[in-house]
Structure 1
Amino acid sequence: MTAQHLHRLVDPIITTRGYDVDDLTISPAAGGGTAATIVVDRDGGVELDALATLTRDLVEAIDAQSPDADYTLELTTRGVDRPLTLPRHWRRAQGRRVEIDVVGADGTPETIAGRIGASTDATVELIRNQRGRFTTVTVDLDSVTKAIVGVDFTAPNRTELELCGLDAAAIARLTRTN
């Protein structure tokens, strides 16, 4: 089973459910056979039960196509450690804290941190909270060399999230405390 063959098989199933295939890799499995890892994402996030159902459906499709295939399938989500590389990644991470490395207009590297605000296919706004004083920085996505969503254990500031352009439901979800 090649990555191209697997992608052609599973992509229609995944996309009809409203997901995007973010990554697909094939590697040798530790005990023999093949390990296939498929990373999916979608607007609104991914629910565990829906992911389990999708996994079963993908296994059925793979088994029907290649009944003798010796493989292990892992279906997973992007997680926080995957870099933001596409405009949809930025849109889906709106309101999250991020640290990005950019190349400035003069060619010098710079690191900028903030919360992801509005984004387009070409730019993203970062909302920066500097001791209660908020500023907005617009970053050209072509200048970004690395961008990772940060793990943030503090409750976000409501004003900051409003400046990010989030609606009331998204703000309530992000400011929930357990």
Structure 2
Amino acid sequence: MAQQHRQRLLAVVEPVVTQGGYDLEDLTVTRVGRRHLVRIAVDSDHGVDLDAAAELSRGISTALDTAEAGGEELIAGEYELEVGSPGVSRPLTLPRHWRRNRTRLVKVRIAGREVTGRVVSTDDAGVTLDVDVDGDRQTHAYGELGPGRVQIELKRLAELPDPDDEEIDDEDDEEGEDGE
């Protein structure tokens, strides 16, 4: 029965997400006290910003309300809706996941061994990883790869420009409050 409810919920939510230009990555419904928490994870090649998540949330909420007004009970009782992106903890399992993480360091199980490397490129057939500092590149078909995990790289933060080094145009701020 729970699977049947989930399928009906997916049938209402997925078209809204797809029409917005996003991929539905995950949909979970959990009980939190007397309410349900409906969590929807979406993604796209351009990421998901807060404004997009808010807009999708409004669209999904409207679609759910419309379906329930038509007599279809999708979620028993009250619910809270959360729409966001899956984040770096999501396992890389589909070609689009690998493509969206090009240039990132990942850890993946290949042929029984764990490999860490940077995603150099992806195509319809597989992934090319740079697995060492000497530029040793390995290409693997998607079927050979276990779920990949993005590795957090604190050193990459050092590559970002230091906000204290940027020139700040304080010309307007230096004028007195009376516009001198």
Instruction: Give TM-score scaled by structure 1 length.
Output: 0.78
AA partner of residue 63 (structure 2): A
Please tell me whether residue 56 in structure 1 is matched to residue 64 in structure 2: no
Counterpart for residue 167 of structure 1: none
Matching residue within 85, 92, 112 for 1:77: 85
Consecutive unaligned residues in structure 2, runs of 5 or more: 163-180
Cα–Cα, structure 1 residues 141 and 156, in superposed 2: closer, same or farther, change >3 Å?
farther
Question: Distance between the aligned counterparts of 1:156 and 1:49, measured in 2?
Answer: 25
Q: Structure 2 matches for 1:32-71, cutoff 5 A?
A: 32-66=34-68, 69-71=77-79
Please tell me whether residue 91 in structure 1 is matched to residue 133 in structure 2: no
Deviations 1:10-65 (A, max 9, x none): 111111111000111222x2222322111100011111111111112211221222
Q: Secondary structure, in 3 states, of the residue corresponding to 2:81?
A: strand
Which is greater in Rg? Answer: 2
Deviations 1:134-166 (A, max 9, x none): 221112221222310111111289xxxxxxxxx
Measured after TM superposition, the shift of residue 128 of structure 1 is: 2.9
Kindly indicate whether the alpha-carbon contact (under 8 Å) linking 1:97 and 1:150 is maintained by their aligned counterparts in 2.
yes
Deviations 1:106-150 (A, max 9, x none): xxx1111111111123310001342xx222111222122231011
Q: Secondary structure, in 3 states, of the residue corresponding to 1:93?
A: coil
AA partner of residue 99 (structure 1): K
Question: Distance between the aligned counterparts of 2:109 and 2:131, measured in 1?
Answer: 15
AA partner of residue 36 (structure 2): T
Q: Structure 2 matches for 1:23-172, cutoff 5 A?
A: 23-27=26-30, 29-66=31-68, 69-103=77-111, 109-130=112-133, 133-155=134-156
Q: Secondary structure, in 3 states, of the residue corresponding to 2:131?
A: strand
Matched length: 153
AA partner of residue 101 (structure 1): R
Measured after TM superposition, the shift of residue 97 of structure 1 is: 0.6
Cα–Cα, structure 1 residues 177 and 98, in superposed 2: closer, same or farther, change >3 Å?
farther
Runs of 4+ in 1 over 6 A off after TM superposition: none
Question: Distance between the aligned counterparts of 2:161 and 2:147, measured in 1?
Answer: 30
Please tell me whether residue 19 in structure 1 is matched to residue 22 in structure 2: yes
AA partner of residue 106 (structure 2): V
Matching residue within 139, 149, 160 for 1:176: 160
Question: Distance between the aligned counterparts of 1:177 and 1:148, measured in 2?
Answer: 26
Kindly indicate whether the alpha-carbon contact (under 8 Å) linking 1:83 and 1:148 is maintained by their aligned counterparts in 2.
yes
RMSD of aligned Cα (Å): 2.1
